[in-house]
Amino acid sequence: MFQMCGRRVMADVSRLTIQQCKLIWVNKNCDIVLNVYSSRFGQKKNVLGIHSALSSCKVHGSQHLHLTFFILVAVPCLKFVLKKIAGIWILLDIFLVQLLQLLKILWRGNAEGLSLSSVLLQLYAFSCPVVYAVTNSFPLFAWSERLLTLAQTVVITFLILHYRGDTLTGALFLLAYSGLMFLLGSHAATAVVSVMQSSSLPALIASKVLQIRANYSNGHTGQLSSLSVFLSCAGSLGLAFVSVQEEGGSLATLSHILSACLSCVLLAQVLCYKSSNKKKSD
């Protein structure tokens, strides 16, 4: 049975921040050494060396780190690393998902299998944060990636209409959408902008539901980019993880979890319908 290895260990460990924790190791004498990064000096230093030379650390002739120490230090460090990884996937989702889908449509020369209703809902969901940023006079660098994603989604919408033979409708849509965004960014009431911002996530969830239904009805995923779906799934899972850690069981967290589940369903459809897509292309 593990026993307490000394209160001093717990007290010293509690003063460390998650950002400081970089490496934990235990030597043969059961000395607990934490290598932490010092932002002041810009280098790694052993700022804590705790000797827990207590016989209670010995189990079956070997020396082990106490479970409580693992919970207090290793688990927070693991969460910190996972948050960093999740952040990378979220960034890849924002920058690459729509771009990869756009490139596949242009490469194949058609947009078969893509739900227009789903893409329009995506367009609305990506428009909301842009309108919110413009009306609140946020600096461009704070929302430029959202603007890039929005522009790519606008082009995807036009290409879907173009490859369906409705090029004129697509051009009129671009003019109408541009005018609407100008009016919203210039004259929209604060209440309207707040409602739009809060409804962006439900709209994104609904867009995934519509694309899932379209895939099921068609029996294939058409020109839906596999890599785009994978990155979207990874980004949704990362966003759900971060939301759970920071907000707990809030409504926003549940919405992110639902969005992640739907992204996983889309990925499963891409994998299941892969053979059907190959036969159709042949």
Same domain, 54 and 146: no
pLDDT exceeds cutoff 80 at 68: no
Q: How does residue 116 score in pLDDT terms, banded at 50, 70 and 90?
A: very high
Residues 180 and 255 in one domain: yes
Are 260 and 233 in contact, with CB atoms under 8 Å apart?
yes
Q: Is residue 71 part of a domain?
A: no
pLDDT above 90 as % of the chain: 55
Closest to 127 (Cα-Cα) out of 153, 88, 108, 90: 153
Residue 224 shares a structural domain with residue 257: yes
pLDDT at 245: 85
Residues 117 and 222 in one domain: yes
Judge if 254 and 188 occupy the same domain: yes
Q: What is the pLDDT of residue 282?
A: 52
Residue 102 and residue 223: Cα distance in Å, rounded? 10
Q: What's the number of domains the chain is made of?
A: 2
Specify whether 147 is located in the same domain as 277: yes
Residues 195, 95, single domain; the answer is yes
* Domain limits for position 182: 83-281
Shared domain check, 268 and 158: yes
- 129 and 266 co-located in one domain: yes
What integer pLDDT is reported at residue 81 of this predicted model? 78
pTM beyond 0.85, yes or no? no
pLDDT digits (tens, 9 = 90+) for 161-219: 999 999 999 999 999 999 999 999 888 888 999 999 999 999 999 999 999 999 999 99
2 in any annotated domain: no
Taking 70 as the threshold, does the pLDDT of residue 145 lie above it? Answer: yes
Are 59 and 98 in the same domain?
Answer: no
Please check whether residues 28 and 89 belong to one and the same domain. Answer: no
DSSP the chain: ------HHHHHHHHT--TTTEEEEEE-TT-EEEEEEEETTTTEEEEEEEEE---GGGEETTEE---HHHIIIIIHHHHHHHHHHHHHHHHHHHHHHHHHHHHHHHHHHT--TT--HHHHHHHHHHHHHHHHHHHHTT--GGGTHHHHHHHHHHHHHHHHHHHHTT-HHHHHHHHHHHHHHHHHHHHH--HHHHHHHHHHHHHHHHHHHHHHHHHHHHHTS-TT--HHHHHHHHHHHHHHHHHHHHHH-S-HHHHHHHHHHHHHHHHHHHHHHTHHHHHHHH-
Question: Does 172 lie in the same domain as 57?
Answer: no
pLDDT score at 32: 41
